[in-house]
Structure formats: structure tokens, C-alpha cells
Amino acid sequence: NAGVTQTPKFQVLKTGQSMTLQCAQDMNHEYMSWYRQDPGMGLRLIHYSVGAGITDQGEVPNGYNVSRSTTEDFPLRLLSAAPSQTSVYFCASSSLSGGARQTQYFGPGTRLLVL
Amino acid sequence: AQTVTQSQPEMSVQEAETVTLSCTYDTSESDYYLFWYKQPPSRQMILVIRQEAYKQQNATENRFSVNFQKAAKSFSLKISDSQLGDAAMYFCAYGNYGGSQGNLIFGKGTKLSVKP
């Protein structure tokens, strides 16, 4: 059981470049989300989705775009990378029903460096 | 808006001893979830323990237990018989029961060191 997978593990971008961080889960979870982790800041929510075709903004959505065409996949797009987007990005998923509802399972993270 | 505060940026414990990590939160909701996540140097976020606010009984998972004080909005984590592998960042998190359910609000973390 793979759980939540993320690719790539590490990426270097130049300012202004665009890229997509991939996230997939095989647990049939309705809910998926993206967080960024910066030193001393904990994890902050970027975007989330409660099902295919439904997305919404979190606390820090500017500069990022998401879509959810399937239950399994939730890619995060950086439209024009900026040094302020240097961070570690985590994808997470959870069920919205049942005994384990709300418990989020995290991917291994993607470390992004924007020069 | 809900907030989560971890007032101890760093803590240290001797191997085999007990340590308690503090967490307070602010919410006007009566139903919600609370979590402790562990992040070792590998950066993987690992669920340690989960508490549902409507349950009065404190959650326990092996050497890990919580002291959940709903009226005081306090949710501390106790690690008993500390092991070297417990060294990590620990994050407290809050989740709503309804509305924006699924979204978690994290504290800034406590770095735990374990001395042999």
C-alpha cells in the first residue's frame, strides 16, 4: 500500500519558471491538501479539495494553482516561481467519514529551491 | 479563526525519562479533533496520537498519552520511557468537525532532543 506519494523529492527552479508538484493517493480519500513548511512557521495550508472537481483556497494560496480531476491525484502548480516559494511542500489526504475521519496522512514532501 | 500555540520551541529529555510537550488552542467550536504529529529528520510527518473533543477519556498509544483539558483548551503530549528514536519535531494540530473539515491548523512545533 503506497499511501500518499509525491514527486519530485527535490527541485531547483529559477525565478519565473513554472512547474507542477505531483501528488497521488491510493486510499480512496475524499480530502486532499497541500501544505508548505518554512523554518519556525509550522505547516500552512495552501489549497485543499474535498472531492474531484472541488477545490478551495487555504491560508497561503497566492502564486499556486490546483485542480482535481480524479480522486487519486491532486497536483500543485507554481505559475511563476519566486524565491519566497522556497520551502518544503507536503501533500496530505484524509477520509471525511468513518472512524479515521480527519486523520491526515502525509506524503514524504518535496523540497523546492527557487534561485 | 482557530489558532494553535506551542510555547516550547525546544525540549530535552534523558533516555528512559518522561517528558511533556505543551499545546494550547483557541476555538469557539465544541466539536473538533486534535492531533500530535512527529517529524523526524527524514521529514516524514507521522501521526502520533489523535483526540476527539467529545471524548472525555484521554487518548493513549503505547508510550504516548495526552492530557486533554477542554475547558482550558489545552492538549499536552506525554512521552514515557523516552527513546533515542523519539528525537524529532513534534507538531500539535487542530481540525474542525464540520464546515472546513479536513483542514488542519498546526502549531509551530517543539524540537525534542533525547540524551543517552
Question: Is the pLDDT assigned to residue B56 strictly greater than 90?
Answer: no
The mean per-residue pLDDT over the stretch A10-25 comes to 97
| A20, pLDDT greater than 80 | yes
CA distance A45 to chain B (A): 8
Considering just the CA atoms, what is the radius of gyration of chain B in Å? 14
Question: Is A69's Cβ below 8 Å from some Cβ in B?
Answer: no
Contacts of B4 in chain A (CB under 8 A): 42
Q: What is the secondary structure of B58-72 as a DSSP string? A: PPEETTEEEEEETTT
Rg (CA), chain A: 13
Contacts of B37 in chain A (CB under 8 A): 106
Sign (positive or negative) of CA dihedral A19, A40, B22, B18: positive
**Burial profile A58-86: b = 16 or more Cβ within 10 angstroms, e = fewer:** bebbeebebebeebbebbbebeebeeebb
Mutate which: B21, B38, B45, B48, vs A, most A CBs within 10 A: B45
C-alpha to C-alpha distance for A72 and A52, rounded to whole angstroms: 9
- What is the DSSP secondary structure assignment for residue A73, as one 8-state letter? B
Residue A103 pLDDT grade (very low, low, confident, very high; cuts 50, 70, 90): confident
The confidence band for B65, taking pLDDT boundaries of 50, 70 and 90, is very high
